[in-house]
Structure 1
Amino acid sequence: MISALSKEFFLFLSKNRTLNRAAKKWGLKLGASQVVAGNSIEAMIVKVRELNEKDLVCTLDHLGEFVSSKEEAATATAAAIRTLEAIEKEGLNSHLSVKLTQLGVDIDREFCVNNMRSILETAQKFKNFVRIDMEDYLHYKITLNILQELRETFQNVGTVMQAYLFCAEEDMQKLQGIPLRIVKGAYKESPKVAFQHKKEIDENFMKLIKIHLLGGNYTAVATHDHHIIAKVKQFVEEQQIPRDQFEFQMLYGFRTEMQQSLADEGYKMRVYVPYGSDWFAYYMRRLAERPQNVSFALKGLFLK
């Protein structure tokens, strides 16, 4: 019965600031430890090294939500830079993912851009890559605008395109030459701006992947859907697209056998690895995407 709880319910919980604050004190509870790689950099390093040893590459996300001051955004920026420094020092095979809201875009746009520049300068020094995660539609246009501004100086930055958005194809055409992660989309958006049915989203997802690949662009296909993965594998084979032009991406803790299988087949398989104490909203969104993942929470109730 609990698995029948609606997507809207979990998304509602993900936006609850009180629960989010409380969760920082709980530690990784409710099964979150299965999908979040620890509270600290030290714990994260252990997990990423284990993945790298299995020929799985990573992208790291130091979790953070509800940033409401420049001080909090500066702290998040410093954490992102420390993550890049840890990747370099420990010799980890990993990129970095960041959210503009965490870096203060809702507080002061230029302040946020300057924070991004600091992060990208560090990544550039280490010859690393930073992905700007796409958030809800409210932040969609400003994310694309900031990306294009940053690309005037930095080539080591890309973003995410969400296939459920009507405007995704048109906007993607403006991002030629920019590495993109293509996803279906994890937020609940209005039918005025986004497809609402799985069939339509899946069709647009494959359409975007094909367009980006055929344009010669580096493409990260982010999905746990084995049907989509099989179609992508068939398409790149038919079109003779080299394997160094694309990669598959999945979330830490999900479909681990498939992740390993793709790596064993010689595909680049990147695992999105979140870590940090601010885990609650991220975890609720994962439950919203697939209510059957509530089994994680049930198991977590019995973890000591």
Structure 2
Amino acid sequence: MALRDMFIALSENKVLNEAAKKYGLKMGAQHVVAGTTIEETIASIKALNKQGISCTVDNLGEFVFEKSEALAAKEQIINMIEAIHNSGVDAHISLKPSQLGLDIDKAFCLDNLMDIAEVAANYNNFINFDMENYARLHDSFELMETINAKYNNIGTVIQAYFLESIENIEKYKNLRLRIVKGAYKEPSTIAYQDKATIDANYISLIEYHLLNGSFTSIATHDHHVINHVKKFAETHAIDKDKFEFQMLYGFRTDMQQALAKEGYHFCVYVPFGSDWYGYFMRRLAERPQNMALITKQVFTKKTNIAIGLTAGAFLLGRLSKRTK
């Protein structure tokens, strides 16, 4: 848990986030984000689509406390929805309420979300509400419910480490759900703390939604979980059209392609933009084993950085100090 806590702390470090925006591409961040522009990202999506892989697209952004920043994020997301439609790629949108103003004003955030949902509905595109830390959880669910009452193109995320996750998956079983383990530091009063318990609850939630719910997105890089789901689906005669596996862009690409070739629906979580650092550190917090999967790609020969991820975070901090 110490390693997980370290990555969470790094994800919340504003100095490192700002340094990563400036130096990310020099450090090989292109291996964990699909592009810094919409055009670059659409090209990456097309390449994945050719492999039989669909995508969910996330406009990266941290620490949004100004309305101008939230409005800019809304415009970027709407532009991406239009680009998805115009290019004909197989992709949908994932978004975070905090990026669209939740921490500024809830009503303002709802207006922004409604604008996005309307555009997405007009283009028959799906929107997934990403869930963040517990402080934002219930407000995010409430916003999602309000929008879902008007549009039918909405889904959300259930985080397995929360004690209340079974209640939430039962409540939202009729929605398309992405099931994840969870990637924020939360107290024991609201979240499971040990890996074994979280892993067991994760499996239980997946099984519940496969048997009782709508479409299930199983977000994991763990081949043990994937093999368990494959056997469970076969045993219970669950059609492959009822679920998909999801992985992050740049992670375990061989397994992504293999699962798609086996006839399973597969979706890659595609982040884009320069604000990649907090996102990446939370993915490592979620499953520290991811570090071994991506370190060699991020710290390439071209950058001549033969160091581990933690040392990379330290380097970003040093680079930031030099610019002041």
TM-score normalized by structure 2? 0.88
Contact 1:243–1:267 (8 Å) recurs in 2? yes
1:182 aligns to 2:179 (yes or no): yes
Contact 1:32–1:283 (8 Å) recurs in 2? no
1:279 aligns to 2:279 (yes or no): no
Paired residue for 1:55? 52
Deviation at 1:299, TM superposition (A): 2.9
Deviation at 1:27, TM superposition (A): 4.1
Deviation at 1:294, TM superposition (A): 4.2
Deviation at 1:274, TM superposition (A): 0.3
Deviation at 1:35, TM superposition (A): 1.0
Percent identity of equivalent pairs: 47
1:252 aligns to 2:249 (yes or no): yes
Paired residue for 1:234? 231
Paired residue for 1:16? 13
Decide which moves more: 267-276 or 141-150. 141-150
One-letter amino acid of the structure 1 residue matched with residue 212 of structure 2: G
Decide which moves more: 271-280 or 17-26. 17-26
Give the superposed CA RMSD: 1.7
Quick one: which of 68, 77, 80 aligns to 1:80? 77
Q: Deviations over 1:160-187 (max 9, x none)?
A: 0001111000121111311100011111
Decide which moves more: 196-205 or 4-13. 4-13
Paired residue for 1:223? 220
Quick one: which of 81, 87, 91 aligns to 1:90? 87
Paired residue for 1:302? 304
Decide which moves more: 117-126 or 16-25. 16-25
Gaps of 5+ in 1: none
Deviation at 1:21, TM superposition (A): 2.1
Gaps of 5+ in 2: 306-324
Contact 1:123–1:129 (8 Å) recurs in 2? yes
CA distance in structure 2 between the aligned counterparts of 1:287 and 1:144, rounded to whole angstroms? 25
Mapping for residues 139-178 of structure 1, pairs under 5 Å: 139-178=136-175
CA distance in structure 2 between the aligned counterparts of 1:5 and 1:113, rounded to whole angstroms? 37
Contact 2:8–2:183 (8 Å) recurs in 1? no
One-letter amino acid of the structure 2 residue matched with residue 25 of structure 1: K
Contact 1:287–1:294 (8 Å) recurs in 2? no
CA distance in structure 1 between the aligned counterparts of 2:296 and 2:194, rounded to whole angstroms? 25
Quick one: which of 173, 197, 201 aligns to 1:200? 197
Contact 1:57–1:271 (8 Å) recurs in 2? yes
Q: Deviations over 1:10-45 (max 9, x none)?
A: 222211222222322224243322111121111111
CA distance in structure 1 between the aligned counterparts of 2:280 and 2:202, rounded to whole angstroms? 24
CA distance in structure 1 between the aligned counterparts of 2:32 and 2:40, rounded to whole angstroms? 13
TM-score normalized by structure 1? 0.94
Contact 2:56–2:269 (8 Å) recurs in 1? yes
CA distance in structure 1 between the aligned counterparts of 2:12 and 2:27, rounded to whole angstroms? 17
CA distance in structure 2 between the aligned counterparts of 1:82 and 1:113, rounded to whole angstroms? 19
The runs of 4+ residues in structure 1 deviating greater than 4 Å are 293-297
Decide which moves more: 234-243 or 87-96. 234-243
CA distance in structure 2 between the aligned counterparts of 1:299 and 1:186, rounded to whole angstroms? 26
Count of aligned pairs between the two proteins: 300
CA distance in structure 2 between the aligned counterparts of 1:31 and 1:24, rounded to whole angstroms? 12
